[in-house]
Structure 1
Amino acid sequence: MRTALACAALLLCAVPAVAVEADPLFWPEEQRAFWQDGPGWLLTEEQRAAFLALDEAGRAAFLQGFLDRDPIPETAENELREGIARRLRLAALESGTPLDVRARLLFLQGPPLAREVIDCGVFKPLELWSYGATPETARPLVLYRPGASEPFRLWVPLDSKKSLYTAEALRWVEDFDELRLRGKRIDRIYCPDAKKVDAATGVVGLRGVVVASIEKIGPDGTIDPSKGKDYYWARPKNRAAFLGPPADLAAWARAAAATRLPPAAGTLEVAGLDLDFPYRAGQRLMARGIVAVHGTGLVAAEVEGTPRLRLRLEGLLERDGQIFETFRVRYRVPVPAGGAAVPLVFEAALRPGQRFLLRLRVVDEGSEAQAVLARSLAVPSDPVSRLGALVEGAAPGEALPPGLGRRDSLLLLPPVGEVLIGAWRAEALVAGDRIQKVVFLVDGQPQLTRTLAPFSAEVRLDPFPREQVVRAEGYDANGELVAADQVVLNQARGTFRVTLEEPRRGSRSTGRVTARADVVVPEEQSVAWVEFKVNDAPVARLTEPPWQTPIDVPPGEDTAWVSVTARLEDGAETEDVRFLRAPANLEEMDVDLVELYAAVTDGSGRFLRGLEAKDFEVLEDGRPQTLARFEMVETFPITLGFIVDTSTSMADALVESQRAAASLLSQLMTPQDRAFAVGFARFPYVVISPTDDAAGVARALEGLQAMGSTAYYDALITGLYYFRNTKGQRAMIVLTDGEDTASRSSWEQALEYTKRSGVVVYPIGLGVGVLSLSARSKLEALAEATGGRAFFIREATELGAVYSQIEDELRSRYYLAFNSNRKEDAAGFRPIVVKAGKGKVRAARGYYP
């Protein structure tokens, strides 16, 4: 062992380092594969640093010398080369990318002594791998998949046990802990294997005490069970050691060369991979590849009465050490004469000027024989076409989502409404005979299973609107995934932007915190990924909401920041940055102001104009606040929402309400203002999305018809959701004639969401008499909580006068902003009182930070 390392070190020193290219994607494929795909993991940190400093010739010389030096010279074979080949094969059978920690473990440690898949819906995809000489001395590793398109990673205590739970299960467990409930833990009720996860992580429950008994571990690493319960080998350095280079390369080579491989399915022969970039696809260039598969040995089958070869190509693109994109293509081609080669063509749209690592797996579905290829590629700035003649004779493929084919397929119908809360009837259209079971999942958590058509289920959603992913998975009789589809609910639409919502601006974060972003997506577009970085170092890349991840704030006093970048499928990107620890001269600039809008009236109810900042006093939780900004809002942009009751009882009032609304819009709206409308009967529905077209909103309101019951609370929440990511004055007019009769949401939920929105609400009760105490009190509560005003009228003809008063108020309010002097970590609702010495103030009663 020492001789081999010494020779490698001498070889590194003997080769001059000139013209060094640090990015392995620019290296020859043999050198890149050595470094990234397995053998490079055998090098010590010193060897790796020295290897990176070499030029191409130096790397080639080192690579050759490293592989040729037999660490066990007394035997005839080179166990190092044989061991590397066997472990690479073992890793490739497990995963298509070495970014998957399972592939790295198999290469470095070989097959685990025990492997258990935890599949109960409480945890994210999770496996327990145990390594050791015997079951008694084996140590478990926790491997989990953080997101749907991410590779498995090794869990360490710094990740927090929260990272292992699905979103819904985490809420259960947190509630159980927070309420200090007694009895069997909620996750163990739904997942008996949670006890095994406790043991493997060393953390009982969510925040349980870690039991440490270092004395239990002997100097040789064996465990003495008589010395108590040991969880503490689970320290990060102990777990990370499994991914480090072997301490004894000769011992590793001997064990790796003896690795037993599963029965080989066969190897396809391919003539190589060629690429060009023939045309533009929007802002991207289309990468076109061709792979020629030797026809000898391919197994044909009858497809619709004709012999056909059934081939499948699985592709994976890596960039900056992360999975960028995956794709699958299926081919059904005639059997070639005389075993001639079968050329397969595929395409992927990539952004110009970027470099990727392309990994391909070609599979003969008849025999399961396969071939694995990898190649780095640089996307040029302009199209380059040179494969025209070759492509003309190539077999076209059929692009497939993972597991999805055309004959046996599944399609999840998108929702009719734009904002969904509480529950949604999900319907999956299934084609073919193979799918026998459909599982419906929300945010990765299985909820319901259907084994008979029609495949539909009412899935549970959050009571407040937020982005949620509903997925349907179709399985055959053997439990194999055949097809899948998903939809994103409540996705924010509008001008493309991403905003960091947490950590909050102006806070000085320490330790581990949650970074959360809000993404607004243009119509007809979808998000490719959202990436978080800390001090420009990548932390997480997510491909579906929720757009949040835990981050570690760097220790010390140096400037630190978190950034988020969102990318659309067409390649467009946008980003936002927030300081975690700002320089002293930027602290004031990097603080979120608490913004209030206040109307002031005299004893006769007339609005008072011309007041100054000194005339106002603002108290938060009883503490005086200093105003940082103050002005009249006559020219402030307004976003105005109309929430209109269209239940059957409103039939006689709709025409007049439409006429009054059109008059208000024409007088109030300027080119910088926006308005939208939501109608509600049994369900809320969008009449027109936010627009600066006042006439268009008026025309949309004219088409309303009265029919059905009254989902008033759901409509409130739906309307308020359309104000997210809007700035300036935000006001919502709610017109209804009675109590709620059909909402899924409760009154308490609707009021709470209203308080959180920061939108002033003007409820109008039509025909709500003085004896309708419950209905009147609820309308008044909405107005009082938000700084609005409740109106009660007998006839729809009075709406014109009411709308005039609302218009006058919206142009007569004052804008007040201050930096809260309350402690940053104070959570929950913060009560606000605004006073003016010269009149009565109407403003929101508080806010949520």
Structure 2
Amino acid sequence: MLSIRNLAVFVIGLIFIGGALFGLNFSNAQQMPPAPGNQKSVSPTPTVSPTPEIIEEDDEVIKIDTEAVNVLFTAQDRNRRLLTDLKQTDVRIVENGQPQEITAFARQVDLPLSLAILIDTSASQERTLPEEKSAAKAFLQSVIRPAKDEVSIVSFTGETTLEQGMTNNLTRLARAVDKVEFTPPSGYVGGGVVAGGTPPISGDNQMTQGSTAIWDAIWVTSEEVLKSSPDKTRRAIILLSDGVNTFGSKKLDDAVQAALRSEAVIYSIGVGDEFYGGVDEGVMKKISERTGGRAFFPRDESELRKAFTQIQIELRSQYLIAYEPSNQKRDGSFRKIEIQLTNSELSKQKVKLTHRQGYFAKTDTGQKPVK
């Protein structure tokens, strides 16, 4: 019996040692790096070539380098038709008056979108809101690719309400648009209390209802909604309003700066009731052009839908210029940028380039940006 017991112990020991050796080899095999020929880069960011690289229809070229500045732009002829065959030699980019060396030039047609639709629900929108909601839902159905794009729905009066955070779920987005309603001023049929509403993300109290804080809405959307979207995405705000700001702590410049910091372009759709003075076209154009977008002023529901369609086309038909700024100071200062035509024939054709008007330089950790 003793010899059998010893034999059993000996066999169990061999099994234990063999298992440990096998586990060690398996662990080492898992940690072994792949063969050089099969190794894949862990980063989708392409490397900057020593000379400018032209990449056609490549949505991966959006963050060329940590120090690079990326500028998206559209090109249109005098009839507002988009140009799709520009070359890098047709343009140059200037920062604070100094020409910059272009490190990459690409046509972007398939970039993921991160959009925020801002809907004015103040008194001036009461009659036009149904058409706005209908056009917005049609836009969502046509533009959203569930595997790529995301949208948030924001309503605002004197305060801003996030009706739906970033999502690619069309059902949720349509539901969020449906629940956007005209917000009456305090004391207007029910005292200004909106039952079942989402808590506001800006504004002080219910007394703000009925007023219009456009710049607050753009600022908070840029800072708290769009900034959290992925790096490799095209950010845009679609603003539905009459452009008449009557309330809030932010100014137009604050809204522009917030949009530029989040790299968001603003497309404005001017809609309003003539009883309240119509649309402030000058303001709507200014907020859009300074961020690289465009303003539309539809006269009926048909033109409203066409405006949404044009926005969709422009978001899908853009060029990217990347450059490393000659001014390497990390001081948080605002740098004015301009893309200029170098092709004389395009200049004669009155080709218009639309892009954001500047950016804020990066800062070292803890350093305050320059005012």
Q: Is residue 735–residue 765 contact of structure 1 (8 Å, CA) maintained in 2?
A: yes
Query: For 1:616 and 1:725, how far apart are their aligned partners in 2?
Result: 32
Question: Aligned-pair distance for 1:826?
Answer: 5.2
> 1:386-785 alignment to 2 at 5 Å?
591-670=66-145, 671-707=147-183, 708-721=210-223, 722-726=225-229, 727=231, 728-767=233-272, 775-785=280-290
Please state whether the residue corresponding to 1:724 is helix, strand or coil: helix
Question: Aligned-pair distance for 1:618?
Answer: 0.7
Q: Is residue 124–residue 272 contact of structure 2 (8 Å, CA) maintained in 1?
A: no
Query: For 2:65 and 2:81, how far apart are their aligned partners in 1?
Result: 38
Question: Aligned-pair distance for 1:796?
Answer: 4.2
Counterpart of 2:300 in structure 1 is 795
Q: Is residue 656–residue 797 contact of structure 1 (8 Å, CA) maintained in 2?
A: no
Query: For 2:263 and 2:66, how far apart are their aligned partners in 1?
Result: 18
Cα distance per residue 1:267-296 (max 9 Å; x no partner)? xxxxxxxxxxxxxxxxxxxxxxxxxxxxxx
Which of 352, 355, 360 lines up with 1:840 in the alignment? 352
Q: Is residue 236–residue 265 contact of structure 2 (8 Å, CA) maintained in 1?
A: yes
Counterpart of 2:316 in structure 1 is 811
TM-score (norm: length of structure 2): 0.65
Q: Is residue 675–residue 694 contact of structure 1 (8 Å, CA) maintained in 2?
A: no
Query: For 2:257 and 2:251, how far apart are their aligned partners in 1?
Result: 10
Question: Aligned-pair distance for 1:736?
Answer: 0.6
Q: 1:736 to 1:641 in 2, by over 3 A?
A: same
Q: Specify the code of the residue in structure 1 equivalent to 2:173.
A: V
> 1:101-180 alignment to 2 at 5 Å?
none
Q: Specify the code of the residue in structure 2 equivalent to 1:717.
A: W
Q: Which structure: larger Rg?
A: 1
Higher share of residues assigned helix: 2
Q: Specify the code of the residue in structure 1 equivalent to 2:280.
A: A
Question: Aligned-pair distance for 1:738?
Answer: 4.2
Q: Specify the code of the residue in structure 1 equivalent to 2:159.
A: F
Query: For 1:616 and 1:635, how far apart are their aligned partners in 2?
Result: 22
Q: Is residue 270–residue 279 contact of structure 2 (8 Å, CA) maintained in 1?
A: no
Q: Is residue 125–residue 272 contact of structure 2 (8 Å, CA) maintained in 1?
A: no
Q: 1:590 to 1:729 in 2, by over 3 A?
A: closer
Please state whether the residue corresponding to 1:717 is helix, strand or coil: helix
Counterpart of 1:203 in structure 2 is none
Query: For 2:248 and 2:303, how far apart are their aligned partners in 1?
Result: 28
Q: Specify the code of the residue in structure 2 equivalent to 1:657.
A: E
Cα distance per residue 1:25-54 (max 9 Å; x no partner)? xxxxxxxxxxxxxxxxxxxxxxxxxxxxxx
Query: For 1:709 and 1:592, how far apart are their aligned partners in 2?
Result: 42
Please state whether the residue corresponding to 1:687 is helix, strand or coil: strand
Q: Is residue 658–residue 702 contact of structure 1 (8 Å, CA) maintained in 2?
A: yes
TM-score (norm: length of structure 1): 0.29
Q: 1:608 to 1:756 in 2, by over 3 A?
A: same
Query: For 2:65 and 2:213, how far apart are their aligned partners in 1?
Result: 41
Q: Is residue 124–residue 273 contact of structure 2 (8 Å, CA) maintained in 1?
A: no
Question: Aligned-pair distance for 1:775?
Answer: 3.1
Please state whether the residue corresponding to 1:793 is helix, strand or coil: coil
Higher share of residues assigned strand: 1
Q: Is residue 93–residue 337 contact of structure 2 (8 Å, CA) maintained in 1?
A: yes
Query: For 1:767 and 1:794, how far apart are their aligned partners in 2?
Result: 10
Cα distance per residue 1:336-376 (max 9 Å; x no partner)? xxxxxxxxxxxxxxxxxxxxxxxxxxxxxxxxxxxxxxxxx
Relative contact order, CA 8 A, sep 6+: which one is greater? 2
Cα distance per residue 1:584-632 (max 9 Å; x no partner)? xxxxx96322111100001211000022222221111122222222222
Q: Is residue 243–residue 283 contact of structure 2 (8 Å, CA) maintained in 1?
A: no
Q: Is residue 655–residue 702 contact of structure 1 (8 Å, CA) maintained in 2?
A: no
Q: Specify the code of the residue in structure 2 equivalent to 1:691.
A: T
Question: Aligned-pair distance for 1:842?
Answer: 0.5
Cα distance per residue 1:761-801 (max 9 Å; x no partner)? 011111387x9799332211111111100112333442101
Q: Is residue 252–residue 287 contact of structure 2 (8 Å, CA) maintained in 1?
A: no
Question: Aligned-pair distance for 1:825?
Answer: 4.3
Query: For 2:96 and 2:245, how far apart are their aligned partners in 1?
Result: 33
Q: Is residue 593–residue 820 contact of structure 1 (8 Å, CA) maintained in 2?
A: yes
Query: For 2:107 and 2:324, how far apart are their aligned partners in 1?
Result: 19
Question: Aligned-pair distance for 1:828?
Answer: 1.6
Q: Specify the code of the residue in structure 1 equivalent to 2:354.
A: R
Cα distance per residue 1:409-447 (max 9 Å; x no partner)? xxxxxxxxxxxxxxxxxxxxxxxxxxxxxxxxxxxxxxx
Q: Is residue 767–residue 792 contact of structure 1 (8 Å, CA) maintained in 2?
A: no
Q: Specify the code of the residue in structure 2 equivalent to 1:739.
A: V
Counterpart of 1:533 in structure 2 is none
Query: For 2:80 and 2:211, how far apart are their aligned partners in 1?
Result: 36
Unaligned runs of 5+ in 1: 1-588
Q: Specify the code of the residue in structure 2 equivalent to 1:634.
A: V
Q: Is residue 643–residue 733 contact of structure 1 (8 Å, CA) maintained in 2?
A: yes
Q: Specify the code of the residue in structure 1 equivalent to 2:119.
A: V
